[in-house]
Structure 1
Amino acid sequence: MRVAMKTFLIHLGITTSLGTGLSPALAQNAEPVLLDQIVITAGRTPLEAAKNGRATSVITREELEARNIVNVTDALRQLPGISISAGAGPTQLRMRGGEANHVLVLIDGIEASEAATGEFDFSGLQASDIERIEVLRGPQSAFWGSNALAGVINIITVGGERNASRWGWETMVGTRSTARGLLSWRGGAETIDGAVSTSLFRTDGHNMSREGDENDGSRSGTFSARFNADIAPNTTLDGTLRYARLLGETDAEDYATALPADSDDASRRISLLGSIGLTSKTPDDALTQRLRFSFGDTERRNYRDGTLLSGNKGRRVSGLYQLSYAFETPALADARHTLTAGYEWERESYNMLDAPGIAPDQLNERSRSLHGFVGEYRTELFDRIYLGTALRHDINDAFKNATTYSLSAAWQTFDGGPRLHASIGTGVTNPTFDEQFGYYPGVYLGNPNLKPEESRGWDVGIEQGFFHDRVIVDVTWFNMVLNDEIVYSPTFDSAMNLDGRSRRQGLEIAATAEILDGLTTRANYTYTDATDPDGVTEIRRPRHSASLNVTYTFFENRATVFGEMDYNGTTRDTYFGPPSYSTPVNLRARTLVNFGGSYQFSENLKGYLRIENLLDKEHEEVLGYRGSGRTALIGLKGSF
């Protein structure tokens, strides 16, 4: 593995905002790396990647299209610090050894996780309408509050285009009766722009259980819309709306074997997200005010043989006011400063749906709210040193109040020299509604006495470019301590806080290389050591993981071929069968290979091919639930 660590070449997020998405045109440029790409999630106001002291990665639309990405998880697997578990029910994403509800997921700035679980279900999330994905690793609650304990993922959809009008379409078919269709429009006039997109996806899937022959498919549909309008000089009104439906089939656990077996189980999820915002700036852009209201509504229903087993509905409403002031002090270290202060209000509500075994009092709506006050200060000194700090105080009506902080620094030592970066911060995650009140009688009971989870983490790294920045390598060491970790207790069929400290530490190596014009290589390696207070390795977090992506663009940038490798080392899981009903087991290491390409037939027509799991390797990311075998996808996309 030490050899692999030395040979993998990738782009690490902090200045890698560009490395994750080199366009064909850029691939022909003698200076392939752009260090001034904006990373929105790196603070309360936009920040250039090279000035960011936190560990950040960006996936651009060019990257998604060059690799013909269908599911967003296939792109996220290629980033350092991330592990994904696809199996029964929701597809979970973990970051730096944290849990799935320790990662805050935003879509166009709206919190998208389900109120019931605090997690975002990545199954069914297609890449067709996504402009870019920003990933921020490490505790970030000082900026974003609860659930940003281990990191933040901000998904930004395609926006409008001024003084233009363009329609787009896509059709795709594949093995396992897979098909996708997309229709979109983006355009605008001189003072307004917008974008609308709708897509449908279906597949017969594969048999998830180890035995039997029943395939478990899925059906999904998404509608999204965005607009921006200049309603006055230096004042902009914007809004977004997103509606998504998913029906996913799965196999339930056989209580005789404690492993999944063929069954007619399914889960239906319906979500609606929206926001409306107002941004006003002074003519010199020194003072910026933002006002935003957002909402999210998610309903989940679980069925067996067509009968409702359980279900819940969660809602989230929030408001934000933020004021930022930028100024310079040329006589003092040639410094530039940005001060930001903000207030956030959020209300979450939740109720179970009427199903067999649900008591009448469990149908009552439960709610909680918080008031958050946040401040941030950033400064740039001598055009080489970049410092940032943030402090947040949350007032909760259901839990104790929380104060979190963040400090970061980046130093460009000299022209062409290494860039040093470091950050330290704290995070908090409140108990979920499921953990507090349960979700299925007799199977999972609630614990209203749970305490919020709290973390403190730091990272330090060095980034260096070689051969005129045609190769960029970044090495980052991270460490985090988690207090009051919430876990499932099979003894009590409920959740509980662990005594003591859970520890996460590891190494992220990332690089990008473009030694030859048109040939781009990206890779990463992550070592993660995540243990509970007893020193036991946490489940579904591989100790070693790595990825490699090679993309070649040729024939006057009209043709592209790519290959991907995704490696997960041995991973621990839990077997809930006899004799102890909580037995640790190991899932064997696996390496998956994807391959594909595309050809631009004309300015408005492109064909593409993607083959996933090319070597048809058997694998499991959740005990007993098989991953998909070889799948071939072919499609056409065009515009007019």
Structure 2
Amino acid sequence: MLGIPDRAEIAFGAECEEALYRSSSFGGAPERADTWINSIYGEVTAAPFRAPVPAGLSLTAGIRHDDHRTFGSETTFAASGAFTPDEGPTVVRASYGEGFKAPSLYQLYSQYGNRSLQPETADSWDLGVTHSFLGERAQIGATRFERDTTNLINFVSCFDQADPICVDRPFGTCDNIAAASTDGWELGIALFPVDGFDLALNYTIVDAFDDSNGNRLPRRARDKVSLMADYRMDGGIGLGATVLMVGDSFDNASNTRPLDGYVVVDVRASYAMLENVELFGRIENKFGADYETVFQYGQPGRGFFGGVRYAM
């Protein structure tokens, strides 16, 4: 006997999505295409359990069936759970999921399209733990994750490429990577030293590879660090900043064209003029960092934004 859930929820649904595509490149005849995908899904959530299964355990499971006009049918499954031993400060989480993604009409028929693309399938899992301490003024966490993908849909940059797929495609095209794998860690610490002051540091390590040749997947940095700080004063003034640091990566599948890492700093401020009216402003990329996430495609420089929020 596994015990009876004190609370359980069951959900079912259905979706029908139709996509249309029409485009004309360089004055040529317009390209038209359409497709549809019908889906049904169900999900069950149960928590907590009565003895002999301990309290503090919650489980979720779901199943989905997709029927695509062009690429046929696929059924995927997902499950997750969380457990708090003795309902204390430690939480253990785990999840498993499967995915199915058919190529979009743009990926098939645009000037960058490839009509030979196959649908992408994947399965992934993660396992993590978080622990609160110092009277819940601090929290640390770590998560391990892995993902295996078949026929990963990827954009192929054709600058200086000898790949046969680049013939007559000087600006690039889409292609499948037969097998790709991703694994890594997410590490984090959050501090709440006084009421209204939040500080969080997160570090993500990702190793993403094309399994057919051992090269790193393009445009996926191995290291990413973010630092966030927010402070709200009693007078209604709020100040905050985010520092994002991203490591080096490669722009192309052959790993011959590097992309430099970068650091971007954003700052923000707000003022609660009334109980439900707030004046806010922010500066994105405050120091005007010059960087690229795609070769020869520069990212926005310094930007200023502001406005008024009204909460009902």
Task: State the TM-score bracket (shorter-chain normalisation).
Answer: 0.7 to 0.9
Which of the numbers 79, 86, 106 marks the counterpart of 1:434?
Answer: 106
- Secondary structure (helix, strand or coil) at the match of 2:301 reads coil
Which of the numbers 245, 250, 258 marks the counterpart of 1:572?
Answer: 250
Q: Deviations over 1:506-556 (max 9, x none)?
A: 1112343211122111231111111112221112211111111111122x2
The answer to which structure, 1 or 2, has the higher relative contact order (CA under 8 A, 6+ apart) is: 1
Q: Does the 8 Å contact 1:572/1:584 carry over to 2?
A: yes
What is the CA-CA distance between 1:379 and the residue it aligns to? 2.3
Q: Confirm or deny that 1:623 pairs with 2:295.
A: yes
Q: Does the 8 Å contact 2:266/2:282 carry over to 1?
A: yes
Within-5 A mapping of 1:221-620: 333=3, 335-338=5-8, 340=10, 342-354=12-24, 356-359=26-29, 362-363=31-32, 366-380=33-47, 381=49, 382-436=54-108, 438-440=109-111, 444-447=112-115, 449-487=116-154, 488=156, 489-491=165-167, 493=169, 494-499=173-178, 501-533=179-211, 534-554=213-233, 556-574=234-252, 584-603=256-275, 606-620=278-292
- Secondary structure (helix, strand or coil) at the match of 2:107 reads helix
Q: Deviations over 1:533-591 (max 9, x none)?
A: 2221112211111111111122x24112212211111122139xxxxxx7732222211
User: Quick one: which amino acid aligns to residue 490 of structure 1?
Assistant: C
Matched residues in 2 for 1:369 and 1:574: separation? 32
Structure 1 376/351 Cα, relative in aligned 2: closer, same or farther at 3 Å? Answer: closer
Matched residues in 1 for 2:192 and 2:36: separation? 49
- Secondary structure (helix, strand or coil) at the match of 1:435 reads helix
Structure 1 516/394 Cα, relative in aligned 2: closer, same or farther at 3 Å? Answer: same
User: Quick one: which amino acid aligns to residue 395 of structure 1?
Assistant: D
Matched residues in 2 for 1:433 and 1:629: separation? 32
Question: Which structure shows the higher helix fraction?
Answer: 1
Q: Does the 8 Å contact 2:228/2:240 carry over to 1?
A: yes
Q: Deviations over 1:296-330 (max 9, x none)?
A: xxxxxxxxxxxxxxxxxxxxxxxxxxxxxxxxxxx
What is the CA-CA distance between 1:347 and the residue it aligns to? 3.4
Q: Does the 8 Å contact 1:345/1:369 carry over to 2?
A: no
Matched residues in 2 for 1:454 and 1:485: separation? 7
Q: Does the 8 Å contact 1:505/1:528 carry over to 2?
A: yes
User: Quick one: which amino acid aligns to residue 5 of structure 2?
Assistant: A
Matched residues in 2 for 1:450 and 1:638: separation? 47
Q: Does the 8 Å contact 1:347/1:367 carry over to 2?
A: no
- Secondary structure (helix, strand or coil) at the match of 1:414 reads helix
Q: Does the 8 Å contact 2:40/2:66 carry over to 1?
A: yes
Q: Does the 8 Å contact 2:284/2:302 carry over to 1?
A: yes
- Secondary structure (helix, strand or coil) at the match of 1:516 reads coil
Matched residues in 1 for 2:304 and 2:44: separation? 49
TM-score, reference length from structure 1: 0.42
Matched residues in 2 for 1:350 and 1:377: separation? 34
Matched residues in 1 for 2:22 and 2:245: separation? 39
Matched residues in 1 for 2:191 and 2:202: separation? 12
What is the CA-CA distance between 1:344 and the residue it aligns to? 1.8
User: Quick one: which amino acid aligns to residue 497 of structure 1?
Assistant: N
Matched residues in 1 for 2:282 and 2:134: separation? 32
**Percent identity among equivalent residues?**
24
Q: Does the 8 Å contact 1:573/1:586 carry over to 2?
A: yes
What is the CA-CA distance between 1:454 and the residue it aligns to? 0.5
What is the CA-CA distance between 1:613 and the residue it aligns to? 2.4
Matched residues in 2 for 1:354 and 1:621: separation? 28
Matched residues in 2 for 1:573 and 1:451: separation? 23
Matched residues in 1 for 2:38 and 2:286: separation? 50
Q: Deviations over 1:42-92 (max 9, x none)?
A: xxxxxxxxxxxxxxxxxxxxxxxxxxxxxxxxxxxxxxxxxxxxxxxxxxx
Structure 1 486/420 Cα, relative in aligned 2: closer, same or farther at 3 Å? Answer: same
What is the CA-CA distance between 1:419 and the residue it aligns to? 1.0
Matched residues in 2 for 1:495 and 1:616: separation? 32
User: Quick one: which amino acid aligns to residue 523 of structure 1?
Assistant: L
Matched residues in 1 for 2:191 and 2:61: separation? 32
Within-5 A mapping of 1:140-155: none
Matched residues in 2 for 1:373 and 1:337: separation? 24
Q: Deviations over 1:23-49 (max 9, x none)?
A: xxxxxxxxxxxxxxxxxxxxxxxxxxx
What is the CA-CA distance between 1:339 and the residue it aligns to? 5.2
- Structure-1 residue corresponding to 2:159: none
TM-score, reference length from structure 2: 0.83
User: Quick one: which amino acid aligns to residue 147 of structure 2?
Assistant: M
- Secondary structure (helix, strand or coil) at the match of 2:88 reads coil
Matched residues in 1 for 2:95 and 2:241: separation? 34
Matched residues in 1 for 2:7 and 2:278: separation? 46
Matched residues in 2 for 1:505 and 1:606: separation? 42
User: Quick one: which amino acid aligns to residue 182 of structure 2?
Assistant: R
User: Quick one: which amino acid aligns to residue 184 of structure 2?
Assistant: G
In structure 1, runs of 5+ residues without a counterpart are: 1-330, 576-581
Matched residues in 2 for 1:377 and 1:638: separation? 36
- Secondary structure (helix, strand or coil) at the match of 2:206 reads strand
Q: How many residues in Structure 1 have an aligned counterpart in Structure 2?
A: 294
User: Quick one: which amino acid aligns to residue 562 of structure 1?
Assistant: G
Within-5 A mapping of 1:28-107: none
Structure 1 516/481 Cα, relative in aligned 2: closer, same or farther at 3 Å? Answer: same
Structure 1 459/599 Cα, relative in aligned 2: closer, same or farther at 3 Å? Answer: same
Structure 1 342/632 Cα, relative in aligned 2: closer, same or farther at 3 Å? Answer: closer
Q: Deviations over 1:436-485 (max 9, x none)?
A: 2x213xxx3531x4321100110000111111222222211100000012
